[in-house]
Structure 1
Amino acid sequence: MPAPATDAGQVPFCEAKEETRAGLEGSAGGADPPGRRGARGRRLHIVWRNVVLMSLLHLGAAYSLVLIPKAKPLTLLWAYFCFLLTALGVTAGAHRLWSHRSYKAKLPLRIFLAAANSMAFQNDIFEWARDHRAHHKYSETDADPHNARRGFFFSHIGWLLVRKHPDVIEKGRNLDVTDLLADPVVQFQRKYYKTSVVLMCFVVPALVPWYIWGESLWNSYFLASILRYTIALNGTWLVNSAAHMYGNRPYDRHISPRQNPLVALGAIGEGFHNYHHTFPFDYSASEFGLNFNPTTWFIDFMCLLGLATDRKRATKSMIEARKAKTGDGSA
């Protein structure tokens, strides 16, 4: 994990600095059915509440598809807009800002990203960032919350359906999260997380189409809340699963994370995963800057507005040297 950035003040003309140094209960554990054993022969404990809730959510999303032809075009545009907000709450917020400290955000932007993160409903910022730091530090070991060595299903959704592996809990307690504890926005969102999720993930997305342009509340709820939420969840999960299994490894062939442009499209820029695990401090999470990376566009725009500063980047020489030393020769 990169160390938190030091305060370097406003970045003139918003140029990026080059870096010159190298939610649900019971998340993680195993995805095997009862009676079988997971990692190291440990008996798995399925969280049946999560299994039922996730099953109902995906059934609701499947039903939502039949409502698309009946909905007003504005409702579909609103659902997509909510999807983008949801994704940014994870990618620009919980991931690149709070997990990796790859750039700095002023208070208004942090408040916006925290609200968008509540719309994402993937555990509060503190828990998301803590688990993600564990994922990087202990990648693909039993201390990795969604260890990809345990298969596609486990790394995609199975880790949310069983109790955490003891190593995840033990190692997670030793991580440095003082920066998260010191951020009042993170702590406020954590304190009022359930209320903010109800409002931002389900109520507000459903009420806007119904109140403003007269969409039926039924269509609004299933399309802008249920379908949007389910698609956003799976977009994030594909980074944990598909982007750890399918694609090339031009930066480090010795690690599992891969470059997966299709995942990047679905996760608004988070699919260049071999690069990200090689240079986790890079705010763009990609060598390619703006290409296929709407999250980078957003952060750069926030910088132009003066709401984001101190973006970290890997130098070109560092990238080329790493490709030559550990890459698979694919780029």
Structure 2
Amino acid sequence: MAPKTPVADVQSPEGLEDEVEPVILEENHSQKRPPMVIVWRNVVLFLFLHFGALYAAFLVPKAHPLTLLWSFALYIMAGWGITAGAHRLWAHRSYKAKLPLRLLLIVFNSIAFQNDVIEWSRDHRVHHKYSETDADPHNARRGFFFAHMGWLLVRKHPDVKVKGQAIDLSDLKRDPVLRLQRKIYKPLMLSCCFIIPTVVPWYFWGESLWNAYFIAAVLRYTLGLNATWLVNSAAHMWGNKPYDRNINPSQNLGVSFSAVGEGFHNYHHVFPHDYSTSEYGWHINLTTMFIDIMAVLGLAYDRRRIPTALVLKRRARTGDGTE
């Protein structure tokens, strides 16, 4: 069955410029890797965060139903802040957004608390350019735990720093919205990720501050982090590879479900400039749905889409024969 292409404003030009050829990897990096230096501060913080989330799970049955609905809404908004914002809009420039949408995505991104967009996009651009080498911040060849969260618990490999400094971020630094976010990131993040999520249930429907904080802030935030991390770990290890069997990124429907549409990862690494990061439009892809709705409202435009003929050609040439 041929991949479905939703209606979009702009298609990528016919040709191979949108394809990413696999990076030639060395089989063994261990001899040139310096010893890992554990960042104990991060270890302690993530331990407290995950124990807090585990405790919050026991509070869920006692919570007001609106608190659970509010937490789910925050999870989706934070997800869009990463997927529609930091990832598809700013890191890949796969579509364009008018000022009101960019401001909204900055708020959503601050709910997600995964560093400001400029820093997030720098790491992601390095990840694509040097995928699964030592210059990749979350190199999946170093194992599931490292790709999932271990990379945040140790000092960066020197290659990550060197290659990251060479990545062009001039387009991001010219954006006044991103400059504003970076300037006020700490108070904005604290307000969007922790304070507002806690205060709203307490003020509007009488939830206890304790329940609101642990469920709408700590548990929701922890689940969102792990959903994003699964794109770096599980989607680089498990799934089929219909477009390029020679790279690790794979199609993983479970990741797509938890990460609001980011699990079609073999497709995304082959065609990184497709605004949908998927060949199937809205299928298990709430982010594509969100961007398309914003386009109907006139807030998103110039959505880049890979022509179906090019997708089928690449699938026949380098795919693993699955769909």
TM-score range, shorter chain: over 0.9
Cα RMSD over matched residues? Answer: 1.3
2:99 counterpart of 1:107: yes
CA contact (8 A) 2:101 2:299 kept: yes
Matching residue of 1:40: 32
Structure 2, unaligned runs of 5 or more: 1-6, 18-28
Runs of 4+ in structure 1 off by over 4 angstroms are none
Of 164, 170, 187 in structure 1, the residue corresponding to residue 156 of structure 2 is 164
Matching residue of 1:313: 305
More RCO (CA 8 Å, sep 6+)? 2
Matching residue of 1:125: 117
2:9 counterpart of 1:16: yes
CA distance in 2, matches of 1:292, 1:175: 32
CA distance in 2, matches of 1:39, 1:258: 28
Give, in angstroms, the shift of residue 73 of structure 1. Answer: 0.3
Structure 1, unaligned runs of 5 or more: 1-13, 23-36
CA distance in 2, matches of 1:198, 1:178: 27
2:167 counterpart of 1:175: yes
TM-score, normalisation: structure 1: 0.90
How has the CA–CA distance of structure 1 residues 287 and 39 changed in structure 2, closer, same or farther, with 3 Å as cutoff?
farther
CA contact (8 A) 2:33 2:157 kept: no
Q: Point out the more displaced range, 186-195 or 152-161.
A: 186-195
Give, in angstroms, the shift of residue 213 of structure 1. Answer: 0.6
SS of the residue corresponding to residue 37 of structure 2 reads coil
Matching residue of 2:254: 262
Matching residue of 2:71: 79
Deviations 1:51-99 (CA, angstroms, capped at 9, x unpaired): 0000000000000011011101000000000001110000000000000
Aligned partner letter, 1:17: V
Of 274, 277, 283 in structure 2, the residue corresponding to residue 282 of structure 1 is 274
CA contact (8 A) 2:67 2:216 kept: yes
Give, in angstroms, the shift of residue 39 of structure 1. Answer: 6.6
CA contact (8 A) 2:244 2:266 kept: yes
Aligned partner letter, 2:11: E
2:210 counterpart of 1:218: yes
Matching residue of 2:24: none
CA distance in 1, matches of 2:183, 2:43: 26
Aligned partner letter, 2:107: A
Deviations 1:240-283 (CA, angstroms, capped at 9, x unpaired): 00000000000001111000001000000000000000000000
Give, in angstroms, the shift of residue 153 of structure 1. Answer: 0.2
CA contact (8 A) 2:202 2:209 kept: yes
TM-score, normalisation: structure 2: 0.93
Aligned partner letter, 1:19: S
How has the CA–CA distance of structure 1 residues 71 and 38 changed in structure 2, closer, same or farther, with 3 Å as cutoff?
farther
CA distance in 1, matches of 2:217, 2:78: 11
CA contact (8 A) 1:38 1:44 kept: no
Matching residue of 2:25: none
Matched positions, count: 305
CA distance in 1, matches of 2:136, 2:173: 22
CA contact (8 A) 1:253 1:328 kept: yes
Matching residue of 1:65: 57
Aligned partner letter, 1:195: P
Deviations 1:164-213 (CA, angstroms, capped at 9, x unpaired): 11111100111111100100111110111111111000000000000001
CA distance in 2, matches of 1:257, 1:39: 25
SS of the residue corresponding to residue 71 of structure 2 reads helix
* Residue identity (%): 61
CA distance in 1, matches of 2:173, 2:198: 33
Aligned partner letter, 1:86: A
CA distance in 1, matches of 2:291, 2:32: 42
